[in-house]
Amino acid sequence: MSFFGLFGGGSSKESIEEYLKDGAIVIDVRTPQEFMEGHVNGSKNIVLNSIPMSVEEIKALNKKIIAVCRSGARSGQATLFLSKYDVDVINGGPWQNVAKFVK
């Protein structure tokens, strides 16, 4: 993963589309208030600071994960953290990057 994909901006369009085709779950790591203002259809809201307590829940989903947020920075942090626990995860960057591929 590139430096920019990890700490902002997100993964490539092709990676996002591939993960979605494989049944990936989108995890939005913004606050509940930010999530309510707009989000990817079907995404799951798990606030960044609760990701460490949610690792087992996320792993139990047994799916690829696309992390999103407002700018790509928080989702980059979540991606880095989850990848250390062998979660197949990419940084989708801003949630709108992924929303345009989800019906």
Q: What is the mean pLDDT of the chain?
A: 91
Nearest residue to 91 via CA among 47, 23, 27, 48: 27
Asked if residue 1 has pLDDT above 60, the reply is no
The end-to-end CA distance of the chain, in Å, is 27
Q: What angle do CA 85, 23, 44 make, to 5 degrees?
A: 65
Class of domain 3-99: alpha beta
Residue pair 18/101 in contact by the 8 Å Cβ criterion: no
pLDDT, tens only, 49-94:
999 999 999 999 999 999 999 999 999 999 999 999 999 999 999 9
